[in-house]
A and B are shown apart, each in its own frame.
Chain A
Amino acid sequence: MAEEGQQHPLKIYWIMWLSLFVLSGMSYATDFMNDGALRQFLILTFMFLKAGGIVWIFMHMGWERLALKVAILGPPVAILVLIWLMSLEGTYIEDTRLEYYGESTFEPQEPVHH
């Protein structure tokens, strides 16, 4: 198997390719929705479906041995801890800033389109 490399029917790639287009279209469509939990849920869902498809089919991870899957996909799980810690930290810094500096007085300007 290893010597032959990853050889699969072309049909799988065409289906994956098409799904990526559809998912990207739906991803882009979320930009026209109102902000809220549903929009965030959809952004994340389409993102994970796209990412999963790319890794599993296009990068052939689905056909690799379990040892490689674990070696490569295992370590990034640690990032979840970093995300958790940094979001706690970020909220804490924001609270501290609000307490000591008060609300922001920033006046945004409208983006100018050239």
Chain B
Amino acid sequence: MSEAVLDSGAEAPGKKGLVEDWSRDKQVFGVPWGKAMMWIFLLSDTFIFSCFLVGYMSVRTATTDPWPNPSEVFALQAFGFNVPLLLIAIMTFILITSSGTMALAVNMGYRKDRNKTFWLMLATALLGASFVGMQAFEWSKLISEGVRPWENPFGAAQFGSAFFMITGFHGMHVSAGVIYLLVVAFRVRNGYYEKRGYEIVEITGLYWHFVDLVWVFIFAFFYLW
């Protein structure tokens, strides 16, 4: 089945070749080239987030000061009680809800149901935007309580730097994802992909699910541990 197709000397040298090689649109591993590229990007992102989380683990291990108890630091007053991690739990459920709407959008995309794909992607983007909003609330609450990247009133100074770096980088990914989703959603509605095919919805979905995936690890290691 695999006949080795070689570009007969088409490779240009130098800078032109660099651009051509990266934009060659060649299919590998039985997936559209864009999907393979997205997976490779996500792999590199995996290493970035791993470095953040491993760095957090080392400073938390190395400090002799007590580590602030996230269960108390992130508690919120609700109905007269102090509910631990309330906002974080809501954010987690929002992200999971958006993962579901995204998975359905991918499915509807391949059915060429443009209307449903558009609305599901729009819902995903709105859920993502509300997640970022809640994170902004969480940040301003902690900052008002005196949490800084170099100190905080509750314990080890490294808590602040780990918190702002990890959640900040994740929030940036969510924000970028919202923009990405909106761009693709409106193009879907306008019929931009009718001839090109709807793999793009799945590729956007990969990015979105990855953002949710990273949150699973942040939730477990930063907020629960």
Chain A CB within 8 A of B84 CB? yes
A55 to B210, CA, bound (A): 8
Secondary structure dominating the interface of B: helix
In the assembled complex, how far is the CB of residue A5 from the closest CB belonging to chain B, in whole angstroms?
5
Instruction: Give the interface residue-count category, chain B.
Output: 35 or more
B134 contact set on A, CB distance < 8 A: none
A13 to B145, CA, bound (A): 41
Chain A CB within 8 A of B144 CB? yes
Q: Which of B17-25, B30-38, B163-171, B174-182 contacts A (4 or more CB under 8 A)?
A: B30-38
In the assembled complex, how far is the CB of residue A48 from the closest CB belonging to chain B, in whole angstroms?
9
Chain A CB within 8 A of B225 CB? yes
Chain A CB within 8 A of B85 CB? yes
Q: Are A43 and B29 in contact (CB under 8 A)?
A: no
B99 contact set on A, CB distance < 8 A: 17, 20, 54, 58
Interface string of A33-54 (1 = CB under 8 A from B): 0000000100110110011001
Chain A CB within 8 A of B47 CB? yes
Q: Are B63 and A94 in contact (CB under 8 A)?
A: yes
Q: Which of B6-14, B50-58, B184-192 contacts A (4 or more CB under 8 A)?
A: B50-58
Given the known A-B contacts A64-B29, A111-B75, are A54 and B212 also in contact in the complex, defined by CB atoms under 8 Å? yes
Given the known A-B contacts A4-B110, A59-B206, A108-B66, are A89 and B155 also in contact in the complex, defined by CB atoms under 8 Å? no
B4 contact set on A, CB distance < 8 A: none
Q: Are B220 and A47 in contact (CB under 8 A)?
A: yes
Q: Are B202 and A68 in contact (CB under 8 A)?
A: no
Task: Show 23 A/B contacts (Cβ-Cβ < 8 Å), sorted by A.
Answer: A7-B107, A10-B104, A16-B103, A40-B225, A46-B220, A58-B103, A58-B205, A59-B213, A64-B29, A64-B31, A65-B31, A68-B31, A79-B50, A82-B51, A87-B61, A91-B62, A103-B64, A104-B66, A108-B154, A109-B154, A111-B72, A112-B145, A114-B141
